[in-house]
Amino acid sequence: MVKGVNALSYLALYRQWRPKLLSEIVGQKHVTETLRNAIISGRVSHAYLFCGPRGTGKTSTAKVLARAVNCSGQERGEPCNQCQNCREALSGATMDIIEIDAASNRGIDEIRDLKENIKYFPSLGCRRVYIVDEVHMLTSEAFNALLKTLEEPPAHVLFILATTEPHKVPLTILSRCQRFDFRPIPDEIIAGRLEEVAAKSDLKVDSGAIKAIVRAAGGSLRDAFSVLDQALLLSGDAAVTDDVVHGILGTVREEALWEITRGIAEKNMPQVLSLIGRIVTEGKDLHLLAAELTEFLRGLLVSMLASGQTGGSASYAGDNNSAVILNPDRLMRTIDLLVEAEQVMKRSSHPRVVFELALIRAGREAVATGAGSLDELCARIERLEQAVMSTPDSTPARQKNKQVQDTPAVAEVVADKPVGKKPVIEGNTIKYDATPPKKPGRRVEEPAAADKAVAVEEKAVNAALYDLAQIQKWWPDLLQMVKKNSLAAYNYLCQVWPAEVKEHCLVLGVPEGDVFSRQMVEEAATRELLTQTLYSFTRSNWQIRCNFYQAPPPNWEERGGQQLDCTDTISLFQAEEIAVDEDTKG
């Protein structure tokens, strides 16, 4: 490190290494190439909007563009940084490039001042450039005052707006600008830039430290420079190591994350809890640890899926001897538990308990490849049981199963009759045909109870199309089930009857001219309740339609649902029964 540097002359690393050319801006080639071509062809727009995460080069690109449009020695769209315009811009002495912080100059008065000043021509260059940072912080009145100026500014004015939250910028502003989206910078590009800076500045930085810095930067090159700057101050003359970086950030080493993962995979919870205890003792933030572990497991999951693995072992690159049995289902379940724990930890007064319980649950998950978790299997069994129990006795599947139960296992054979011979009557004598007897059938044993349940469920799910007679037979019971859920729907359905069955479409008959009943039955709530009830009877999805008919089938009133009685009507309208005094009548 450099000793004896004047404190007043020191610049942070990200300021020292701020790009001065479009070609030096890393990770945003789609932006820099477009701007360079616009400068070369002389088709620079009057307004640009740079949006994207922090530390991705928005302000740096704006400053390079501002110098390039005013540079007198421009070469292939790049500023020369040698002419008077470029030198004044680099030193901050130019009057042709105005930077405005919208967070502190967000009112309508500041925009009015800007509108008054844009009429003045540039002092040296050909453009007056206004760089408005964090433009989304402007008030609605300020945006409205800027609209006309932004749409038709003077020919010598260039607006460059920058923001991290473009969704907060009004559409009327967005439509007047050319928008460029800056992307998070890839980790390998950030690592390469840090190594380049360390080499050119003669700084001692370990590869492990660079890896830890990149992981914490989250795609922001400025954040990476800030962490490196702080690590250099902490390490002094010694090399910057990953321990120094982890100490600054409060993060843990990847080896610790791998040990937690191995403990979960091997269900060695004492080891996991002991490691968590040591991490807490070191003063690490559990919220940050949960986020790091989630991201680490995500990396393992992506690596396994990218390599086409559906199970097997995964090993950590830093330890060739460590390998644990993992599969994507297990990893996804653990990630789900950690994400849920992160949300609960934010509002809990005992975040450590929440985090440790999530890890214990992850360790107890017995997930087999393709089988699902224990909770999922229990829920699946419960759904099957409910489906079997909710199937009415009148359904074809249940009736058929009942007939199978009532049928004797082996048919009884009468001993005094020849088996397999047909009787022939000749006068008063009965003779038996000498047709050779057929081979006796195999003994049919009654299926087990579990097999019956599965058979009933399969037959119910895979049942063939139901005919109209079956639906009409079930209709009274079906209406009673509807009545338990909605008296109003029950009353409407009492006015109609099953008229036709076309595949899985039930056509309900409505008395001709009864438009009100048809409208009520065709309401979404009534149809949904009816289809759900039909599904509980048939285990099939149905469509409901209504048609007008002159009259219901004969004797239908005796089989159909009954009208609501007085008690049902009172319950439907939540009314009160009032006793009428005989003396007040008339």
Distance CA 113, CA 100 (A): 12
Q: What is the pLDDT of residues 504-551, one digit of tens each?
A: 788 899 888 888 888 888 888 888 888 888 888 888 888 898 988 888
Q: Are 527 and 544 in contact (CB under 8 A)?
A: yes
Distance CA 573, CA 487 (A): 10
- Indicate if the pLDDT at residue 16 is higher than 80: yes
Distance CA 58, CA 161 (A): 9
Backbone angles phi, psi at 254, to 5 degrees: -65, -30
Q: Are 272 and 237 in contact (CB under 8 A)?
A: no
Tokens of 57: 């080069």
* CA nearest to 51, candidates 178, 171, 143, 221: 178
User: In order of start, what are the domains of the chain with their CATH numbers?
Assistant: 7-181 (3.40.50.300), 187-249 (1.10.8.60), 254-364 (1.20.272.10), 468-573 (3.30.300.180)
Q: What is the pLDDT of residues 42-64, one digit of tens each?
A: 999 999 999 999 999 999 999 99
Distance CA 542, CA 247 (A): 63
Distances (CA, A) of 421 to 388, 402, 416, 424, 433: 44, 32, 12, 9, 5
Tokens of 187: 């980790």
What are the b/e assignments for 196-220, b being 16+ CB within 10 Å?
ebbeeeebebbebbbbbbbbbbbbb
- DSSP E strands: which ranges in 351-426? 423-426
What are the b/e assignments for 32-47, b being 16+ CB within 10 Å?
beebbebbeeeeeebb
Q: Tokens 């009468």: give the residue.
A: 414
- DSSP E strands: which ranges in 150-246? 157-163, 178-181
**Which range among 85-89, 277-281, 302-306 shows the weakest confidence by mean pLDDT?**
302-306
Q: What is the pLDDT of residues 106-147, one digit of tens each?
A: 888 888 888 888 888 988 888 999 999 999 999 999 999 888
Distance CA 317, CA 305 (A): 17
Give the count of alpha carbons within 13 A of 325, CB side only.
Answer: 7
pLDDT for res 409: 43
- pTM exceeds 0.85 for this model: no
pLDDT for res 368: 40
DSSP structure class, residue 479:
H
Q: Which one is predicted more confidently, 485 or 405?
A: 485
Distance CA 179, CA 27 (A): 17
pLDDT for res 548: 87
Degrees (nearest 5) of the Cα angle 73, 74, 80?
A: 70
pLDDT bracket for residue 579 (50, 70, 90): low
Distances (CA, A) of 89 to 16, 154, 160, 176, 564: 15, 22, 16, 27, 86
- Indicate if the pLDDT at residue 318 is higher than 60: no
Q: What is the pLDDT of residues 62-73, one digit of tens each?
A: 999 999 999 988
Task: State mean pLDDT over 410-415.
Answer: 41
Mean pLDDT over each residue of the chain, to the nearest integer: 79
Tokens of 348: 């809990």
Distances (CA, A) of 346 to 111, 339, 352, 383: 40, 11, 11, 34
Largest CA distance in the chain: 137
- Indicate if the pLDDT at residue 491 is higher than 50: yes
pLDDT bracket for residue 367 (50, 70, 90): very low
pLDDT for res 513: 83
Q: What torsion do the CA atoms of 313, 318, 320, 325 make, to the nearest 10 degrees?
A: -20
